[in-house]
Structure 1
Amino acid sequence: MKKMAFCCALVSLVSGSAFAYESGDLILRSGAATVSPEVSSSALALGDATLDGTAADVENGTALSLIGTYMLNNHWGLEVVAATPFSHDLKVSGLGETFDLGETRHLPPTVLLQYYPLAPSSRVQPYVGVGLNYTVFFDEEIAADANDVFATIGATGKAELSLKNSSGVAAEVGADIAFGADDRWLFNVALWWMDIDTKARVKVPGVGVVTADVALDPLVYTAGFGYRF
């Protein structure tokens, strides 16, 4: 009897039918996500004049990812990616020094169609996805260093910073590794690429408006845990 019970348990473990990714499953994932921009910036422009040799840069930011996937069938899912706000420090180079321009926060809601290539019963579930991203920038603030620099070129007050919202494509690769008594708990790792382009505008009183076109196109890394309902 003990041998029979062991064999039954082993068959159940291998077949994994109770653990299958199935139509109607809801998978919730959360973890630490880091946005690492691959920045490409135009030279800063003041009115019609281009400030040759200048560029903007954007530092990394980390927040809590909030991700939900609805399984359309055993191999295809629809994912919605959200997060708590990311915060990024902004810098400017080429005006005799590199200085802090300020900071911004953003939210990157993204929708992707996912494909899971392995058998639905596999405890390791790699996946790929492609979709659309919309990035909202808010709470932009100018740094004291930037105001000091602008004062040397005739600014008569504090500058104001704004960033244009962005929409673009997104792609991802990731994997779930199931664990726990019923394999509904998941360890998850994922990597996204997002097409994010913005225009930075700095209104400098007494001087004019400084602008730059900035492509962020970040890689977004996340690792965390999930649960399949």
Structure 2
Amino acid sequence: MKIPFAASILTIAVAAPAQAQVEAGDVLVRARAILVSPTEEAGPVTPTFPGGSVGVSDSVMPEIDFTYMLTDHIGAELILATTKHDIVGRGTLAGIDKLADTWALPPTLTLQYHFAPKGHVRPYVGAGINYTTFYSADASRSLETAIGKTEVNLEDSFGYALQAGVDIDIAPRVFLNFDVKYIDIDTTARLRTGAAINRVDVSLDPVVPSIGIGMRF
């Protein structure tokens, strides 16, 4: 039996998710799970451990972000998350393994270009700035057993951020999101043990892939 043309169109319309039709003035709110994976390069720990260096562990945490659409194609996104990382020994410090841990708070603001704001699948790219502050840094028991009571501090960082992602409709105002960022983060860690201060320069420069769900308001 032939299905009338009008009925076929209705069937397709019901089966397809309604377009979110992102436009100027909309606010997009996303909740995502992120992996912060440093691609770090670190110098020597000087002056006491010139043959030693450090590495920084990955971290998986929740994140929330807000995008305000300035025009149909251009949005401004603020990304908010905090992650905890272990600082591990390398080179002559590898035997100590974990040297310290720290929390990082890296609010990031990007300006995005959305290629297909009226589509079911909406890819975008973005670039912006990042400010990272480190807090609650603690020396490990292993480090303090090796060299004594130690205070750890990391300098804040200001750098750039790049991103690419896509929103995929699953309901009129709800969408899936896949996103990846590269964030320029450089810091100097200081380890104060009594009167001695050791320093190490670290370029963290993490890649941050994420997956989540969003709503349009």
Match among 175, 179, 184 for residue 186 of structure 1: 175
Task: Note the C-alpha offset of 1:93.
Answer: 1.9
Give the superposed CA RMSD: 2.2
Match among 150, 169, 186 for residue 159 of structure 1: 150
Match among 100, 103, 109 for residue 111 of structure 1: 109
Task: Note the C-alpha offset of 1:96.
Answer: 5.8
**So what's the TM-score if we normalise by structure 2?**
0.91
Q: What's 2:6 paired with? A: 4
Task: Note the C-alpha offset of 1:54.
Answer: 1.4
- 2:163 is equivalent to residue 172 of structure 1: yes
Task: Note the C-alpha offset of 1:97.
Answer: 3.4
Residues 111-135 of structure 1, C-alpha deviations (whole Å, 9 max, x = no match): 00000112x2211111100000000
Q: What's 1:122 paired with? A: 119
Q: What's 2:200 paired with? A: 212
Task: Note the C-alpha offset of 1:92.
Answer: 1.6
- 5 Å-filtered alignment, 1:82-161, equals 82-83=80-81, 85-95=82-92, 97-98=94-95, 99-118=97-116, 120-150=117-147, 155=148, 158-161=149-152
Task: Note the C-alpha offset of 1:9.
Answer: 6.5
Separation in 2, partners of 1:193, 1:96: 28
**Gap regions ≥5 residues in structure 2:** none
Separation in 1, partners of 2:42, 2:135: 20
Separation in 1, partners of 2:37, 2:89: 17
**Sequence identity (%):** 33
Separation in 1, partners of 2:136, 2:124: 35
Task: Note the C-alpha offset of 1:38.
Answer: 0.5
Secondary structure at the aligned position of 2:67 is classed as strand
Aligned length: 214
Secondary structure at the aligned position of 1:222 is classed as strand
Secondary structure at the aligned position of 2:94 is classed as coil
Separation in 2, partners of 1:97, 1:113: 41
Residues 185-220 of structure 1, C-alpha deviations (whole Å, 9 max, x = no match): 1111100000000000000115x0010000000001
**Gap regions ≥5 residues in structure 1:** none
Give the letter aligned to residue 211 of structure 2.
A
Secondary structure at the aligned position of 1:19 is classed as coil
Residues 76-102 of structure 1, C-alpha deviations (whole Å, 9 max, x = no match): 10100011x200011122226332111
Secondary structure at the aligned position of 1:45 is classed as coil
Q: For the Cα contact (< 8 Å) 2:20–2:216, is it kept in 1?
A: no
Task: Note the C-alpha offset of 1:20.
Answer: 1.1
Separation in 2, partners of 1:60, 1:7: 49
Q: What's 2:21 paired with? A: 20
Instruction: Tell me: CA distance 1:97–1:13, structure 2 relative to 1, closer, same or farther (3 Å).
Output: closer
**So what's the TM-score if we normalise by structure 1?**
0.86
Separation in 2, partners of 1:103, 1:88: 6
- 2:214 is equivalent to residue 223 of structure 1: no
Residues 13-34 of structure 1, C-alpha deviations (whole Å, 9 max, x = no match): 88x6x53110001000012111
